[in-house]
Chains A and B, each alone.
Chain A
Amino acid sequence: MTRILDIQNLSTHIELSHSVVQAVGDVSLHIGAGETLGLVGESGCGKSITGLSIMGLLPPGGKVVEGSIKLEGRELIGMPESEMRKIRGNDIAMIFQDSSSSLNPTKTIGDQVAEPVRLHRGGSKKEAVDRAIEVLELVGVPRAKERLADYPHQLSGGLRQRVMIAIALTCDPKVLIADEPTTALDVTIQAQILMLLDGLKDRFGMSILLITHDMGVVAGRADRVNVMYAGRMVEATDTKEIFSHMRHPYTQGLLASIPRMDQDNSRTLFSIPGIPPDLTSPPQGCRFAPRCGFVQADCRLNEPHLSGDDSHVAACFHPVTDGLLRPEMMVSVSHGRVLKEENTSEIPLLEIKDLVKTFPVTSGAILRRKVGKVHAVSGVSLTVRSGEIFGLVGESGCGKSTLGRMIVGLERPDSGEVLLEGEDVFSLRRRELARKRRDLQMMFQDPYGSLDPRMRVAAILKEPLSIQGMDSRKEQEARSLELMREVGLPSKALERFPHEFSGGQRQRIGLARALTLSPKLIVADEPVSALDVSIRSQVLNLMKRLQVSHDMAYLVISHDLAVVKYLADRIGVMYLGKLVEVALGEDLYAHPAHPYTQGLINTIPLPDPDIERNKDKDVISGELPSPIRPPSGCRFRTRCPRAQDICAQEEPQLKDFGRLHQAACHFPLIDPLEGVGVSLKKSAM
C-alpha cells in the first residue's frame, strides 16, 4: 500500500519556562491510502502532540527537534509557512475534541464552513456557500441551508461536531486527523458521529489518523493500531492482532484494565500500578519499566527500540506472549451483597421516594419572573440496601448528579423524601442531620476541585472527625495513617498538599476522606471519569475492595455503563429526569427491557474488534430534548424506534420484568411478568 503519510523518528519537545517536556520521542508511523490508523494512549503520552506536529500547529514552546514527516513524499518539516498553509485544511485536515470551543463564537456556521473553500479552491462567494451547504448536508446537518446564518452557540453539541467535520471535509483532504473526535460527547451522540466518520471514509476513501484514548473506538474501525506510552511508540500492528496477540506488557495491561460490560464483575479488573513518568525528566531505560510486571535488570538500563517484522513491532526486551488477560484469570473479589432473595422485612439503608427537583429559568425585564423550569429530576424512587452497590447511569443532563446531590443533602428536593434507615433526612433538625451525615458521605468527580488546596492531606483527613467532634488528636492521627494505607498511598503523603498529587492519587485521598467517618453509604459522583484507563482501574478496584472490607454501600453515578456494570450489583438507568429501568447488572446487560437501555448497550464501543465490527449498527437517533419542556408521556419517545401514539399520551409506569427488574415502557423489549399491577412500593423494596 502506498504511504500517504510517513513519519520517521519524530521528536517534539515543548519548552516551558523552567523545563523541557519531551512530549514525543523517536516516533515513526505511516498511513496508507484509504487506511484508518488508530493512535492510542493515555493523556500525556504524546498522541495529540504527534497530530499537531503533522499540522505544524504546535502550542507555544513546541518544536519538532528531529525527524521527518512526509506527505506523499513531500517533506513537511522545515517547509516554508506559506507552503504549509496550502497543505493545511486542503491536503490534511484536522478535527478537534471540543467543538464548543473550536468554533468561532462570533462567526456564522456558513462563514466558517465556506472559509477554507474560498482559501484553497478560490471561486466566488456563491460557490463557496454552495459547497458549504453540500458538505453540511453530507455530514447530516438537517436543513443545512437554513443553518448557514446560525452561530455555534445555537447548535447542540452533536451538530457542532458535525459542523467541525464539515469544515475538515470541504476541500476533500487526503488525510484527516481526528483528535479525540467524540470524547466530549454523550455515548448516543458519539455513536452517531463515529458512524458518520465511517460512512464518510467509505465514500471518499481518505486516510484517517484516529487519535483516541478509547480502545473501543479503534476496535470498531481502525485498520491498524499504534500504541503510545510516555512519548514513545511502544507497539504497532493490525487491529485484530493488537487485541489478541499483543506483545508489549503495557498494551496487555491497558486492554485488561478496561472494564467490559460483557464480563463477570466478580473478578477484579487488572490494573497497572503507579503513574506514568514525568516527561521533563524521563527515566533511563524502558519508560514503562517502573510499572511493568515483567521488568528485568536490562529494562532499567537500556531503552528497547521497536523490533519485529513489518506487520508487528513492539519496543520491549521481554514481550508477553499470553495474549489478552481474561478476567477468569484474575483473583475474584466479593462484590457486596448479591441479592439472592427478596427480603421485604428489612428496612433499606437508603430509600428515595418520588424525588422531584426543578431549577427555575428566569427572564423578564425588571422583575425576574420565573418563565419555566428545568426538570432535573422528575419523580424518582429507588432503594439501596446496606452493603449493596447501586449504579446510576445516564447521559449528561439526565439528572443523575442532581439526584446524588439531593441524597447527600447538598440540594433540597422540591418534593419527595430521602429516607436513611427509615428516617427522612430533610425533616431532621440541624444537629441530628449533622450526626446523620456520618453515615452518608460523598466522593466527587473533579480530583482537582474536591480537595482544599490550602490544607495538607493530614488536615483533610482529620477534618471530618473534627467536624463531628470525634476522637482525640492522637486517635485522629492513627486513623489518618490507617486510611492512607488502605487507599494505597505512602504515609509521608500526609504531610503534603493536594497539588503535589496526580489525579488518581487525589481520588484516593477523596475516597479516604469519605471513609474517615465509616459511613454506611458513599455517593460517588463520576468517581473515575476524570482518570486515565490505567489509573481508573486502580481506583475502581480500590473502591470495590474497600466496600467489602468496610461493609458499606455505594451509590455510583456515572455516564459510563461499563464502569457501573463493573462496580454495581444493581443498575438504574435514567433518562431526562426519569428512572426508566432498574435491574441486576447481569440482567440489565443480558435482557434489557427498555429500548433506551438497549440503545445505550449497543452504542458503547467494546474493546474487541470481533464484536465491535459485527455489532448491530442501530444507534439511538436524534438528540436529548430540552429538560425545560420535556416530551409528554414517555420522555424517550422522541428518539425511540418503538414509539407509538400512546407513548405521547400516557406516561409509562414501572413494571416488573423479573426479580428486581423493573422498567417503564409501553412496548418493552421483553415481556413483563404477569400481574402488572404489583404495587410499586412493594417491588421497589
Chain B
Amino acid sequence: MEERETEGVQEYSINLGGGLRASEPGGSLVDGGDVNSEVTSGWRLALRSFAENKLALIGLGILIFFILFCYVGPHLYYSNQLSGNVLNSDLPPGAGHPLGTDNNGYDELGRLMVGGQAALEIGFFAAIIATVLGSLYGAISGLVGGVLDGVMMRVVDVILSIPYLLIVLIVATKYSGTVLSLSLILGLFSWLVPARLIRGEVLSLRVRDFVSAARVMGSGRTRLIFRHLLPNALSVVIVNITFQVADAIIAIALLGFLGFGLQYPHVDWGDMLSTANTALGNGYWWLVYPVGISLILVVMACNFIGNALRDSVDVRLRRR
C-alpha cells in the first residue's frame, strides 16, 4: 500500500466553486446550481401545453357537448325511436319536431341523440380494442425481437396490405348489426398501425442510455419492461387512442352509409345518412345536414385533441 495524498479531502474542504479559496468545513456544497422551485412532472408539462392549445380546448368542449347531448339529451327531450309514425314522415322542422322527421316518421332530433350514442360507443370500443391489441402485439414483437419479431411484422405487412374498408365491409355482411359486433369488427382490423407504432417506440427506447443504465444496475427483463419501456411508450399509446376513435367513427359512418351498419332498432349516424342522396334530391335537407355536421364536429374534436396531445407529449420530449 502506498501513501495516499489526502489533503483537501478531509472534511470536503475543497471549494469546488474554485480551487483557490477553501470553503468553511461543513459549509454548503451545493455548487451544482439551483433548481427552480416548482416541481413539474412530464405529465403536468404535457397537461399545461394541452391547456394552452385553444383548438384542443374547443375539441374537448365539442366532445363533452355531444356526450351530454347524446346521453342526457334523451332524458330531457322525449321522442319515440322504437316505432315510427308513417303518417308523419318527411316533415320539415317545425313545432313538435325541431329537426323534422325522417321517411319512417321518426323524430330527427331524437334520432340524432340515439344515433350519436352508437357512434360514440362504437368509436370508443373499437379504439380501445385496436389500441390494446396493437400495443400488446407491438410490444411483444419489439421486446422479443429476432425471428418472432420478423414473423409478427410480416403478418402485419400482410394484413396492412389489404384495404381496411374492404375487409371490414366483407365481414360486416355477415356479422354486423349490433354495437358490440361492429366495435369488434372495426377493432379487430385496425390494431395494425398501433402495433407498428408501439414496436417502433419500444425498439427506440430499448437502446436508450437510461435502459442501458438499468441493465448495468443488474435489472432483469421484467423490470426493464414494466418500469422503463412501457411507461415511456404509454404516451404514444394514449395519443393513438384519440386518433383511433376519430377513424372508427368515420369508418362506422361509411359502413352505415353503404347500408352495413346497425340494424333495427339500433341506429347510428351513418345509417341515418344512407338515404342522404335521395333526401337531397327531394330537398329534405334536415335529414342530411344536422347528422353530417354532428359527425364532422365529433371527428374533428377527436382529431384536435389527438393533435394537441401529440404536441404536448412532444413538448415533454423536447424539454427532456
Interface residues of A (CB under 8 A from B): 18, 253, 256, 266-275, 293, 325, 327, 329-341, 405, 408-410, 433-435, 437-438, 440-442, 444-446, 448-454, 456, 463-464, 467-468, 485, 487-490, 492-493, 495-502, 504-505, 508, 510, 513, 517, 538, 541-542, 545, 548-549
- Chain A residues positioned under 8 Å from B22 (CB to CB): 331
Pick from B36, B215, B319: contact of A410, CB under 8 Å: B215
Are B217 and A467 in touch, CB under 8 angstroms? yes
Whether A538 contacts B320 by the Cβ 8 Å rule is no
Is A437 a contact partner of B209 (Cβ separation < 8 A)?
A: no
A492 touches B35 (CB 8 A): yes
* Cβ contact within 8 Å between A441 and B231: no
Residues of A with C-beta under 8 A to B97: none
How distant is the Cα of A254 from the Cα of B14 in the complex, in angstroms?
19
Contact-residue bracket for chain B: 35 or more
What chain A residues lie within 8 Å of B213 (beta carbons)? 442, 444, 450-451, 510, 513
Choose from A435, A502, A542 the contact partner of B33 (Cβ within 8 Å).
A502
A to B CB contacts below 8 Å, 20 in the list = A271-B19, A331-B13, A332-B5, A334-B4, A337-B4, A338-B2, A339-B2, A340-B2, A340-B3, A408-B216, A437-B218, A440-B216, A449-B210, A452-B214, A464-B218, A467-B217, A468-B217, A485-B29, A487-B32, A490-B30
Quick one: which of B6, B14, B19, B320 has the most chain A CB within 10 A? B19
Q: Which of B40, B209, B220 contacts A500 (CB 8 A)?
A: B40
Q: How far is the CB of B48 from chain A (nearest CB, A)?
A: 10
CA A268 to CA B9, docked complex, whole Å? 11
Q: Which of A266, A464, A487 contacts B217 (CB 8 A)?
A: A464
A268 touches which of B8, B37, B223 (Cβ 8 Å): B8
Q: Measured between alpha carbons, how far is A499 from B3 in the docked complex, in Å?
A: 43
| Minimum CB–CB distance for B52 against chain A, Å | 8
Asked if B218 and A545 sit within 8 Å, CB to CB, the answer is no
Q: Is the CB of A273 within 8 A of B20?
A: no
Task: Name the one of B16, B39, B42, B214 contacting A542, with C-beta atoms under 8 angstroms.
Answer: B16
B69 interface hit (Cβ, 8 Å):
no
A541-B33 CB under 8 A given contacts A442-B212, A450-B210: no
Nearest CB in chain A: distance from B44 CB, A? 9
The distance from the CB of B155 to the nearest CB of chain A, in whole angstroms, is 19
The answer on a CB contact under 8 Å between B210 and A517 is no
Instruction: State whether the Cβ of B55 lies closer than 8 Å to any Cβ in chain A.
Output: no
Q: Are B14 and A331 in contact (CB under 8 A)?
A: yes
CA distance A642 to B32 in the complex (A): 47
Confirm or deny: B21 has a beta carbon within 8 angstroms of a beta carbon on chain A: yes
Q: Which residue of A lies closest to B29 (CB)?
A: A488
Q: Are A495 and B39 in contact (CB under 8 A)?
A: yes
Residues in chain B near residue A508, CB distance under 8 A? 32
Scan residues 6-64 of chain B and give those whose CB is less than 8 A from a CB of chain A. 6-9, 12-22, 29-37, 39-42, 45, 52
Least CB distance from A326 to B in Å reads 11
| The one of B9, B30, B232, B316 that contacts A334, using a Cβ cutoff of 8 Å | B9
Question: Closest approach, in angstroms, between the C-beta of B15 and any C-beta of chain A?
Answer: 8
Closest 5 pairs between A and B when the two form their complex, measured CB to CB: A330-B19, A273-B17, A268-B19, A434-B218, A450-B209
Contact A467–B6 (Cβ < 8 Å): no
Q: Residue of B at shortest CB range from A437?
A: B218
**Which B residues are CB-close (under 8 A) to A410?**
212, 215-216
Using A452-B210, A487-B32 as known contacts, list a sample of 14 further A-B pairs with CB atoms less than 8 Å apart, ordered by residue number in A.
A268-B14, A269-B19, A272-B18, A293-B18, A331-B13, A334-B6, A410-B212, A448-B320, A451-B210, A467-B218, A489-B32, A499-B45, A500-B39, A538-B16
Given contacts A334-B8, A467-B223, A504-B33, whether A329 and B217 have CB atoms under 8 Å apart is no
State which of A500, A505, A545 has its C-beta within 8 Å of the C-beta of B9. A545
Q: For the complex, is B208 an interface residue (Cβ under 8 Å from A)?
A: yes
> Chain A's nearest CB lies how many Å from the CB of B160?
22
- Collect the chain A residues with CB atoms within 8 Å of residue B16's CB: 268, 271, 273, 488, 538, 541-542, 545
Give B10 Cβ to nearest chain A Cβ, in Å. 10
- B30 adjacent to A489 (CB under 8 Å): yes
Question: Are B214 and A463 in contact, with the CB atoms below 8 A?
Answer: yes
Bound-state Cα–Cα, A222 to B37, Å: 43
Known: A468-B218, A496-B39, A499-B320. A293 touches B29 (CB 8 A): no
Contact partners of A408 in chain B: CB under 8 A: 216
Distance in angstroms between the alpha carbons of A271 and B17 in the assembled complex: 5
Do B18 and A499 have beta carbons less than 8 Å apart? no
Determine if B228 is an interface residue (Cβ-Cβ < 8 Å).
yes
Tell me which residues across on chain B come within 8 A of A502, comparing CB atoms.
Answer: 33
> Contacts A454-B231, A490-B34 known; A270 to B218 CB distance under 8 Å?
no
Looking at the assembled complex, report how far the CB atom of A659 sits from the nearest CB atom of chain B, in whole angstroms.
Answer: 14
Q: CB within 8 A of B232: which of A256, A327, A444, A453? A: A453
CB distance from B201 to the nearest CB of A (A): 13
B14 touches A275 (CB 8 A): no
Q: Chain A's nearest CB lies how many Å from the CB of B213?
A: 6
Which B residues are CB-close (under 8 A) to A490? 30, 34-35
Determine the distance from Cα of A500 to Cα of B211 in the docked complex, in whole angstroms: 20
The answer to whether A499 and B35 have CB atoms under 8 Å apart is no
Does B216 lie within 8 Å of A331, measured CB to CB? no
Residues of the B chain whose Cβ atoms lie less than 8 Å from the Cβ of A440 = 216
A273 and B33 alpha carbons, distance in the complex (Å): 7
Residues in A whose Cβ lies below 8 Å from that of B223? 467
Option from A332, A337, A495 in Cβ contact (under 8 Å) with B2: A337
Q: Output the least CB separation between B26 and chain A (Å).
A: 11
Nearest opposing residue in chain A for B33, CB measure: A275
- List the A side residues contacting B21 at CB < 8 Å: 293
Instruction: Please measure, in the bound complex, the distance between the C-alpha atom of A434 and the C-alpha atom of B223, giving whole angstroms.
Output: 13
Minimum CB distance partner of B45 in chain A: A499
A442-B216, A492-B35, A498-B320 in contact; A449/B208 too (CB < 8 A)?
Answer: yes
Nearest residue (CB) in A for B18 is A270
Closest chain A residue, CB of each to CB of B22: A331
- Contact assessment for A271 and B209 in the assembled complex, using a CB-CB cutoff below 8 Å: no
Q: How far is the CA of A440 from the CA of B8 in the complex (A)?
A: 27
What A residues does B8 contact at CB under 8 A?
268, 331-334
Tell me which residues across on chain A come within 8 A of B36, comparing CB atoms: 500
Give Cα distance in the complex from A335 to B7, angstroms: 11
Interface pair B212/A274, CB less than 8 Å apart: no
Q: Are B33 and A449 in contact (CB under 8 A)?
A: no
User: Given known contacts A325-B20, A452-B232, A454-B42, is B32 in contact with A437 (CB within 8 Å)?
Assistant: no
Bound-state Cα–Cα, A106 to B242, Å:
37
Tell me the minimal C-beta distance from B294 to chain A in angstroms: 33
Chain A CB within 8 A of B263 CB: no
Given the interface contacts A499-B45, A499-B320, does A467 sit within 8 Å of B214 by beta carbon? yes
Give chain B nearest CB distance to A502 CB in angstroms: 7
Expressed in whole angstroms, the minimum distance between the Cβ of A587 and any Cβ of chain B is 17
Q: Which residue of A is nearest B208, CB measured?
A: A449
Complex Cα distance, B212 from A445, in Å, reads 12
Chain A residues with CB under 8 A of B277: none
CB distance from B4 to the nearest CB of A (A): 6
Complexed CA–CA distance, A175 and B215 (Å): 52
**Residue numbers in A under 8 Å from B210 (CB-CB):** 449-453
How many angstroms between the C-alpha atoms of A495 and B40 in the bound complex?
Answer: 9
Complex interface: chain B residues within 8 A of A510 (CB): 213
Q: Closest B residue to A253 by CB, please name it.
A: B18
